[in-house]
Structures are given as C-alpha cells and as structure tokens.
Amino acid sequence: MNILERAHEIADELVAWRRTIHARPEPGFRETETAALIAATLEPLGYRLRTQVGRTGIVAERGAGPPVIAIRADMDALPIQEANRVPYASQVPGMMHACGHDAHVAAALGAARLLAEEALPGTVRFLFQPSEESEDEEGVSGAPRMIADGAMEGVDAVVALHVEGTLATGDITVRAGPAGAGVDTFYAAVIGRGGHGARPHEGIDPIHIAGHVILALHAIPARRLDPTAPAVVSIGTLHGGQTDNVIPDRVELSGTIRYLDPALQPLLHVEIERALSLARTMGGDYQLRIRKGYPPLVHDEQVVRAIRQAAADLLGEAHVHTAPMTMGAEDFSFLCACAPGAMFRLGCRIEGDERSLHSPRFDLDERCLPIGAATLAHTALRLMTARQKKEQ
C-alpha cells in the first residue's frame, strides 16, 4: 500500500481535524485551541514537542540525526464573518478560516501520522506556525517569531502547501525561483490648508494635490521602473474631509508595495517619496512612513524537483503543473531565507461553485486533504533520502 492509499484510509480523521479547527478559528498569536489540538494529536504518535514557540506555535520532531526536513503549516484565521451555512461553520463571530489554514494544519497532521509509521532516514520537524496573516504590536509575523525561537536551527530543507480554490482537486502546482512578492506598506498624508469650499483660492486644497500624488504613485511601475521588472504600487485607503462644502487640512492614504527583485525595494521607496513630494511643489506638504514587510518568496530548485517527483509518483505527471507567477506575499519567505524551501499549491476546487480565498464563502473540496498529507510526507522522505545519498 503506497503512502497516498494510506492517507485515504485516514481521510475521515483529516476531515474531522479540519472541521474542528474551522469551527473554532483563532486570530494570529492567539491560536491556543488549535495548538492544544495539535499537541494532543502528535504526542501519542511519539513526536517530541516544543510548545509556545514564536508565542503560540508548536515544533514537533520525530527521527534522529541529519538531514532535518521541516514541514510548515500556518494556523491563524482571518477577521471575516463566514457566510457559509454548513455544520462546521465558524462559531466565532467575525472570524473565519477563509484562507484554508485549517486545511493546512489537517494535512500536516496527516503527514505526521503517515511519517510516524516510517523508519525515517533522518529527522522530520513540523512547524505549526502562528500569525501568517497578521503581525504583532512590533510589526512581526509568525515566521520570524518562530525563527527567533530556534525553529529553523539545523534545518536542511523546508516545505509547505497552500490550498488553491481555483485549481482542480487532484492537481498541484509549484514553480522554482521567484514565486511570490516581497511586500511593504506605506502610510502617507497630503497636508494643505483648509477653508470654505466657495473660496478655494484662500487655502491649499489637499484633495486637489492628492489627485496628482495618486496619479504619480500609480505611474511608478509603468514609468519609473524597468517594464520587465514586476512591481505593484496600489492604494488601499483614502480619507479626507467630513463636510461637502469644507476643504480639509489633510488627506490620508495608505497602500501596498509589491516586488519580486529585492533590488527594486529601495528604488520603489525613493519613487514613492518623490511622488509625495509633489505636495510641496504645489504649495502643501506631506508625511510618509514605509513599513517593511515580507521579503520575496524564492523557491529552491532541488526542493521543487522533490515536490514535483513526489506528486508525480502519487498523482501522475499529468496532475503536476507549473504555478503561475503571483504578486501575492507569504511569510513562508522568511523560512526559505533560512534553508532551501518551496511551497506547492494544492487544488481544492469545489466543482460548479468555485470559492475564492479570503472570501466569506470560501470552502474547499475535502478530498484534497489526503492528497496534501501524502504529498508532504512523500516529499519529506524523498528529500531525506536524496540528502543521505549525496553525503555518502
């Protein structure tokens, strides 16, 4: 019996784990119930546990000696009110597993169950990570917090999965090299001098100035950067004024900066400052703060090859595809900066009713769970075996 057949035999457990977690979603750095379920599941399987890693994370190990292969699963939910009417719907008002992290944990637990039955040629280390979607009061997400607590020490390779609601169940995608964007956030204010809307010449209209600033910001990728270098500057919030006939003193805006090439990051910051400086040219002023976020996600070619081979063994080559480039961001990028790593996309599409990630209607075809568990486990075994052969 191969590892996928064994995974299908525990499919009911995978679904039960996923639904339990889905019904009790928890925000970043507060995943205590989820962590307790993980610990209670893994300890009887003989895993060595460290709890409260990166605040609420868990590190679970089995096996001995090198190589050390890490499998990461994020645990946190999103501040979204679930719209699905299903028996396992969120019981927490305003919180929902709309990004599939409940499935990530269930698949990783399944992989742990499968690997507990193997004579491991090395060590497998599971990283159940808090707060991928959000940051703490110091602006730090879960991956760097776990790294600071030693979760990646001695790791030779790291793998993860992410469910994909637009991809057919039974398929996976993965790509080598740049696979996700680096992301920073900017917060700005255009400052003028308010006055009566009937006498605009007596003040300095920050709304008028902000219009020019917005055009300059949106032009950065198209006119200030090499057009072959992917980058995004998007404005997400814009606030100014309270009364229809009063020119306000200031307009506030914020947005996201995305890039694949790390060399673009300082250039983007300079160009955003340049765009805001139009406010001074037009008689006003500005304030700008840029908060650095996740670095670009770069997948290691050898780890990608192991994922592709493992998935092809289990699913057939026709079900293994190259993932499209995305400007989405993932704090898995911090782990990939510590050791060679890669994340694959796991198809979970509900046929006839496609559900998008981060939607209040997001749900998944739970038949993907054994596939995810088996692919994670088989990839870890392949990486261990390949590393041992290389060292012999």
- CA angle 27/32/33 to nearest 5° reads 100
* Alpha-helical regions (H) of the chain: 3-9, 11-23, 32-42, 101-115, 142-148, 206-219, 264-276, 278-281, 301-315, 332-336, 368-391
Of 275, 277, 295, nearest to 285 (Cα)? 277
Whether 294 is catalytic is: yes
Three-state secondary structure call for residue 57: strand
Is 330 part of the annotated catalytic residue set?
no
The residues pairing with 190 across neighbouring beta strands, listed in sequence order, are 251, 286
d(CA 378, CA 364) in angstroms, rounded, equals: 23
The HSE-up count of residue 247 (CA atoms within 13 Å, CB side) is 21
- Which of 47, 135, 294, 330 is catalytic? The answer is 294
Measured between alpha carbons, how far is 98 from 344 in angstroms, rounded to an integer? 18
- Residue whose C-alpha is closest to residue 241's, from 213, 263, 210, 214: 210
Query: Angle formed by the axes of helices 11-23 and 368-391, to 10°?
Result: 110
Task: Quote the CA–CA distance of 107 and 11 in Å, as a whole number.
Answer: 10
What residue type is 63 in one-letter code? G
Q: 32-41 contacts: CB < 8 A, separation 24 or more?
A: 32/56, 34/75, 34/105, 34/128, 35/75, 35/128, 38/75, 38/105, 38/109, 38/128, 41/17, 41/109, 41/112
Q: How many CB atoms lie within 10 A of CB 1?
A: 7
Q: Residue 358: CB partners within 8 Å, gap ≥ 6?
A: 78, 80, 98, 99
Q: Dihedral through CA 331, CA 335, CA 341, CA 344, nearest 10?
A: -30
CB 344 within 8 A of CB 161: yes
Catalytic machinery residues: 294, 366
